[in-house]
Chains A and B, each alone.
Chain A
Amino acid sequence: MASHAREIAMDRRDAGKVVSIRNLVRHFTLKGVLDGIDLDIGRGEFVALLGRSGSGKSTLLRAIADLDREAKGSGTILAPRNLSVVFQDARLLPWKRVLDNVVLGLDAPDAQARGRRALAEVEMAGRERSWPYELSGGEQQRVALARCLVREPALLLADEPFGALDALTRIRMHALLRKLAAVHRPCVLLVTHDVDEAIELADRILVLDAGRIEADLAVAPYRATSAKHEELKLRLLSLLGVETAPQAGDHSKSAHAS
């Protein structure tokens, strides 16, 4: 069991903060994974967490979601009870039809109707009765998004949700996620290793390295011009240890940190 304190009580949290983490340390057997994380995420904020493989970005997300029971560590995590997780694989139960996957574990009497609405929002109306295996990877991930939406989470945790999708599907999913975030205004923490994805989607970008937050940048000031955009991208890439000489006409190229 994790030895760090985990607080869920709403009244103990600062107003306006959805997630509040203090001095979080986590380690698995030998290697330290999180080495003193302090992080506050405000209401409605869209935060991208960038980092190289092994930097601890998934570990941080899983710590907030309380998924790693075996982890040892210290520190405090304040997170809302109604959080939802989107995994890299859509993780639909193969023996449940799409709608049943969406409303899984939902007790409300209007669960079915809400599930249908959520599916319509992710542009999957009409596929309620499909089996998961009949869907493409992008469609499965949209159903997984609907499964989160229907729970109206205060916090959405997404662990490289588009990592397994092809480039074209990823563009469509980015647009969908942006639209959903604008409508529902949940607090989002998106783990990714794709710098372009982080800049495109997030209000705020964190760079994690060796279990510590190396940078915490607001994206808005860089959105003004494409030169500014490029400046942020290069800065993030250098933080991630990728050195690239500035090139003209490189804007469309996707850059991966790992």
Chain B
Amino acid sequence: MEEAANKKEMIKKLQQDILAMQGFRAVLDHNRRDTGLGSLEHAFPNQTFPVAAVHEFISSTVAEAAATTGFMAGLMGHLMQQNSTCLWVGTGRQLFPPGLKAFGLDPDRIIFVDLQWDRDVLWTVEEALKCENLTVVVAELEEINLTESRRLQLAVEKSRVTGFLHRRNPRKIDNIACVSRWQITPVASSLQYGLPGVGYPCWNVDLQKVRNGKPGKWQLQWAAGHFKHAIPVKVETQKNFIPQAV
């Protein structure tokens, strides 16, 4: 019996070692940053949202891109401490800074770099990810290949910066060296019966891949400055919808 317990502990220890070798440092409780994802964090190695890593987000429509932006903004609002700065690099940016305030992110802490080509974005992102004083670097681009993503991964391993790659409408979804792949799609917001108007932002969060973790699907909503698990509400009374003015 004791032997079995020993074995279990040993396996756990070895797993920890493997994770450490792969660059996932065990985070001490006091400098652990709350991402507000709640039970979703169990999907990640060490039950922690990997900070020094590049996360990939995929969106195929404009509405999905907006949902992804909102989700990323919510994450960034939690990751970025007071006075930290974020770089937002991309081509053809549509982001409207005042809209980020609702996600707990001060838009003036973001520096935008608007470029013309994906290859320029890649150069800038790589340089930015090497800069330890940034907290988060967001890149909006279409295509990236394995080699290019590998360079970004190497950069964050040294500097411990978090990278978000938002791939808008990519032609091909292939394997790249990112720690996770997310797809955020908007879902109808839920409201208590009879209340007019549009509810809190609500998304289907599809964690398609995560290195050393368990992929999964959740429904989250952004309410009062935090992620919350949405209670799936049955489609109610929407067939005979009458527009409601507030």
Q: Is B a genuine binding partner of A?
A: no
Residues of chain B at the chain A interface (Cβ within 8 Å): none
Binding site for B on A (CB under 8 A): none
